[in-house]
Amino acid sequence: MHEHQLLQSIYDSSTTLQGVSIGPGDDMGEVVIGNEKVLFAVDQLVVGRHVTPNTKPSHIGRKAVARCFSDIAAMCATPVGCLMTACVPGDATNEWCQEIFEGAKLVAQEWGGPLFGGDIAQSEGPAVFSISAIATPPENGAVLRSGAQEHDYLCVTGELGNANASHHLAFTPRIHEAQELLATLGSDLHSMIDISDGLGRDASHLANKGIKIIIDTTLLPLRAGATVESALSDGEDYELLFTSSTVPPTHLATVIGKVQIGNNTVVTQSGVDISNCGWNHA
């Protein structure tokens, strides 16, 4: 299976869905219920893929929620609640599962989207935990991936690279930072995504039709132990990558590039195409 080809085929076949105001292809989907718009996201964590089998159970639960709530941040939305499913091997102990649940429940409550239901099943494969999150969009609508404009600044929160050392188990979704960015930048905030697959690959989702993104690798804010290469391709940062027509406050984000008219690519300042720099979660 090739994850991104499969996803693109799903996006292409889901362009018109009744009652859906934001369809597949963004960080969250949005439906209209009565006079209200509600955002939904689902994400899964596979033990042995996204964490090692010997990862502390509470950290597994924490990361399962954090991955999904990072999508809430990428839409500048506000968490409402979440559901959790667990598919675990038959030899998994109740104590191990309970620790995972407690880790998930604790942070979901802390981040404003309490865990209020779910399901449990057994299988012969690796343990898989899935989080479905519900959120409300900001007053003027969710910030999408598709709004980048010529002359925008490309910006990122936090630091990048070497996330697998410890950051991927300890990060806090940038929900508050996203809301502060929106309050500060307003309509100048044009597009946003969270970085899970790698800076190059995720930046390519912001490079909509007729746009080219240029990343100045000398400006990347590197995490301790990180290299430029790891910052571009490792993923698991869960920082916010966004474009804005004005420079954001330095305590919130770093300018790392710019948006120009172009051919849907992401390149470095020296012209190297890095649109596919990243990793495949599938």
pTM, entire model: 0.93
Q: What is the mean pLDDT of residues 190-206?
A: 97
Q: What is the mean pLDDT of residues 149-156?
A: 98
Q: Are 277 and 198 in contact (CB under 8 A)?
A: yes
What pLDDT score was predicted for residue 16? 67
129 vs 131: CA distance, rounded Å: 7
Pairing of strands 189-194, 211-215: unpaired
Q: Are 134 and 38 in contact (CB under 8 A)?
A: yes
User: What's the token pair of residue 46?
Assistant: 């596979």
pLDDT tens digit sequence for 205-236? 999 889 999 999 999 999 999 999 999 999 99
Per-residue burial over 48-87, b if 16 or more Cβ lie within 10 Å, else e, is eebbeeebebbbbbbbbbbbbbbbbbbbbbbbbbbbbbbb
What pLDDT score was predicted for residue 19? 85
* Residue 4 pLDDT greater than 60, yes or no: no
Domain 153-268 has CATH 3.90.650.10: yes
Q: Are 225 and 152 in contact (CB under 8 A)?
A: no
- Residue that is written with structure tokens 């300018």 in the block: 255
User: In what helix (H) or strand (E) does residue 216 lie, and over which residues does it extend?
Assistant: none
What pLDDT score was predicted for residue 235? 93
Which residue type is seen at 50? H
Of the candidates 160, 138, 192, which has an alpha carbon nearest to the alpha carbon of residue 27?
Answer: 192
Domain with CATH 3.90.650.10 in the chain: 153-268
pLDDT tens digit sequence for 6-64? 555 655 655 666 789 999 999 999 999 999 999 999 999 999 999 999 999 999 999 99
Average pLDDT of the chain to the nearest whole number: 94
Q: What is the mean pLDDT of residues 262-272?
A: 96
**pLDDT band, very low/low/confident/very high, at 264 (cuts 50, 70, 90):** very high
What does the DSSP assignment read for 155-192?
Answer: EE-S-BS-GGGTHHHH----HHHHHHHHHHHGGGEEEE
Q: What is the mean pLDDT of residues 108-130?
A: 97
Domain 26-136 has CATH 3.30.1330.10: yes
What pLDDT score was predicted for residue 3? 56
**pLDDT band, very low/low/confident/very high, at 2 (cuts 50, 70, 90):** low
What pLDDT score was predicted for residue 9? 62
What pLDDT score was predicted for residue 141? 97
What pLDDT score was predicted for residue 31? 97
31 vs 199: CA distance, rounded Å: 29
What does the DSSP assignment read for 232-243?
Answer: HH------EEEE
Q: Are 119 and 85 in contact (CB under 8 A)?
A: yes
Per DSSP, what are the bridge partners of residue 20?
31
Per DSSP, what are the bridge partners of residue 41?
133
- Residue that is written with structure tokens 């091997």 in the block: 89
What does the DSSP assignment read for 45-82?
Answer: EEBTTTB-TTS-HHHHHHHHHHHHHHHHHHTT-EEEEE
What pLDDT score was predicted for residue 234? 93
**pLDDT band, very low/low/confident/very high, at 280 (cuts 50, 70, 90):** low
What pLDDT score was predicted for residue 18? 79
Which residue type is seen at 209? K
Of the candidates 78, 217, 241, 244, which has an alpha carbon nearest to the alpha carbon of residue 158?
Answer: 241
* Residue 252 pLDDT greater than 80, yes or no: yes
* Residue 150 pLDDT greater than 60, yes or no: yes
The CB density around residue 232, as the number of other CB atoms within 10 Å, is 24
Q: What is the mean pLDDT of residues 129-149?
A: 97
Domain with CATH 3.30.1330.10 in the chain: 26-136
